[in-house]
């Protein structure tokens, strides 16, 4: 089996279950990231966000970038 | 170098081009964009199959004093305080857009250079307009800077994906992609179980509507970025994702039905 094939199948079938759309993802992304960085249950605050990020590479990239940027900024901030 | 593109009034409305904004040294004012400004998603009713979140509502935080004093009050004011806050905000957005351009360029294997710097600067300008025009809708569910960053990241990410695909033709129909998928199902390098699954998926995909099939294969098999495909189809990310979601749901249903019959 080639290593790319399971990812291809996952991309074709997408995540099962409830998920939000791209607009709602964008709307809630900032608060979601801050919940994550605070160690809170972000998914409980925005049910369906995690599944959406799994199914939408573009939103997932934005989530990862915002998370990384805010995390870096927080770690740079004076204690 | 100073930019003269953006002028926003106390309400965040774009009113012209008198506002001088900081530019990075050596930045070319040439604009790459052939398309209108990338509009960040707006609040719209969710499609029926992508149900609105039943989220436990995040509490609306009391106004953070630093956000109010540093950003919200001066951005909503006029005069020197407003102008200073707009310049500060542009610097903040430029940092975020450069951060995102670097990440996307690395992921896409794009060489750095003045074009990418132009993209970052343009994305910061566009994000500034987006933030200012939505200032009154900031709900204080996060820090202001986190909220503002997401506009720059979104705008920069979309711009880099468009840039990477600007000279690439998209398939006019999905038959080649479906053939590619079917050929994987015949590939002896694949495990028998995976070959069988791929064959079933290819058969089920052929039963989707033409639009669902084209969108699913372009995004999942050809790897076309959703924003690029949305541009070519004159739609937007949210609408296209709904089509993708419907196609996947139908696909899983067909596979499940096949298993139970």
Spell out the per-residue pLDDT of chain B, length 261, in tens. Answer: 333 344 444 444 444 433 332 333 333 333 333 344 456 665 444 444 455 444 454 444 455 668 999 999 999 999 999 999 999 999 999 999 999 999 999 999 888 789 999 999 999 999 999 999 999 999 999 999 999 999 999 999 999 999 999 999 888 778 888 888 888 888 888 788 898 999 999 999 999 999 999 999 999 999 999 999 999 999 999 999 999 999 999 999 999 987 766
The residues near B167 (Cβ < 8 Å, ≥ 6 apart) are none
Phi, psi angle pair for B7, to nearest 5°: -140, 125
Of A16, A49, A62, the CB nearest to B157: A62
Of A8, A47, A66, the CB nearest to B221: A8
Are residues B217 and B224 in contact, defined by beta-carbon separation less than 8 angstroms? no
Of B147, B150, B221, the CB nearest to A62: B150
Chain-chain contact of B145 with A73 (C-beta, under 8 angstroms) = yes
Which pLDDT score is estimated for B50?
59
How confident is the model over A7-60, as pLDDT tens digits?
Answer: 999 999 999 999 999 999 999 999 999 999 999 999 999 999 999 999 999 999
Please give the Cα distance from B202 to B137 (Å, whole number).
Answer: 45
Which pLDDT score is estimated for B157?
98
What would the two tokens of residue B227 be?
A: 């924003």
3-class DSSP state of B222:
coil
Chain-chain contact of B146 with A70 (C-beta, under 8 angstroms) = yes
Which pLDDT score is estimated for A78?
65
The residues near B213 (Cβ < 8 Å, ≥ 6 apart) are B174, B178, B205, B206, B247
Which pLDDT score is estimated for B42?
56
Chain-chain contact of B146 with A11 (C-beta, under 8 angstroms) = no
Chain-chain contact of A9 with B197 (C-beta, under 8 angstroms) = yes
Of B190, B241, B252, the CB nearest to A5: B190
- Cα dihedral value B247, B250, B253, B258, nearest 10: -100
Which residues of chain A have a CB within 8 Å of the CB of B252?
A: 13-14, 16
- Greater model confidence, A68 or A16: A68
Of B150, B220, B241, the CB nearest to A11: B220
Q: Using 50, 70 and 90 to split pLDDT, how confident is the model at A75?
A: confident
Chain-chain contact of B58 with A33 (C-beta, under 8 angstroms) = no
Which residues of chain A have a CB within 8 Å of the CB of B53?
A: 20, 24, 28, 46-49
Which pLDDT score is estimated for B255?
94
B175-260 shares the fold of B71-164? no
Interface test with A, best of B142, B182, B193, B242 (most A CBs within 10 A): B142
Work out how many CB contacts closer than 8 A connect A with B: 152
Give the architecture (CATH level 2) of B71-164: Orthogonal Bundle (1.10)
Interface test with B, best of A23, A46, A51 (most B CBs within 10 A): A23
Domain boundary assignment for chain B: 71-164, 175-260
What would the two tokens of residue B103 be?
A: 């990440």
Q: So what CATH class is B175-260?
A: mainly alpha
Are residues B35 and B29 in contact, defined by beta-carbon separation less than 8 angstroms? no
Degrees (nearest 5) of the Cα angle B216, B221, B227? 60
Please give the Cα distance from B78 to B197 (Å, whole number).
Answer: 63
Chain-chain contact of A47 with B53 (C-beta, under 8 angstroms) = yes
Chain-chain contact of A65 with B157 (C-beta, under 8 angstroms) = yes
Phi, psi angle pair for B21, to nearest 5°: -120, 150
Please give the Cα distance from B84 to B90 (Å, whole number).
Answer: 10
Question: Scanning the structure block, which residue is given the tokens 């468009």?
Answer: B162
Please give the Cα distance from B218 to B199 (Å, whole number).
Answer: 18
Which residues of chain A have a CB within 8 Å of the CB of B227?
A: 58
Chain-chain contact of B191 with A19 (C-beta, under 8 angstroms) = no
Which residues of chain B have a CB within 8 Å of the CB of A7?
A: none
């Amino acid at each position: 089996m080639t290593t790319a094939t399971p990812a291809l199948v996952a991309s074709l079938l997408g995540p099962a279950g409830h998920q939000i759309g791209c607009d709602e993802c964008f709307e809630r992304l900032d608060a979601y990231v801050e919940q994550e960085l605070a160690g809170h249950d972000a998914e409980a605050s925005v049910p369906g966000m995690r599944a959406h990020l799994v199914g939408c590479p573009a939103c997932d990239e934005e989530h990862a970038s915002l998370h990384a940027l805010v995390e870096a900024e927080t770690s740079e901030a004076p204690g | 170098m100073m930019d003269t593109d953006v002028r926003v009034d106390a309400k965040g409305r774009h009113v012209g081009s008198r506002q001088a904004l900081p530019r990075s040294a050596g930045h070319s004012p040439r604009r790459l964009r052939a398309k209108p400004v990338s509009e960040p998603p707006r609040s719209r009713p969710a499609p029926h199959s992508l149900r609105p979140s039943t989220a436990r509502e995040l509490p609306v935080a009391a106004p953070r004093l630093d956000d109010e004093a540093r950003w919200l009050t001066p951005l909503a004011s006029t005069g020197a305080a407003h102008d200073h806050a707009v310049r500060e905000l542009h610097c903040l957005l430029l940092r975020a857009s450069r951060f995102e351009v670097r990440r996307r360029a690395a992921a896409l294997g794009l060489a750095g250079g003045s074009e990418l710097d132009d993209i970052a600067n343009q994305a910061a300008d566009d994000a500034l307009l987006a933030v200012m025009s939505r200032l009154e809708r900031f709900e204080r569910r996060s820090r202001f800077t986190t909220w503002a960053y997401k506009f720059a990241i979104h705008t920069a990410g979309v711009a880099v994906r468009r840039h990477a695909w600007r000279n690439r033709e998209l398939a006019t129909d999905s038959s080649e992609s479906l053939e590619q998928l079917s050929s994987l199902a015949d590939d002896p390098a694949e495990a028998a179980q995976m070959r069988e699954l791929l064959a079933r998926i290819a058969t089920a995909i052929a039963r989707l509507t033409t639009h669902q099939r084209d969108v699913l294969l372009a995004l999942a098999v050809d790897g076309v970025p959703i924003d690029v495909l949305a541009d070519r189809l004159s739609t937007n990310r949210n609408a296209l994702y709904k089509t993708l979601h419907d196609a996947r749901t139908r696909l899983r249903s067909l596979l499940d039905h096949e298993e139970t019959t």
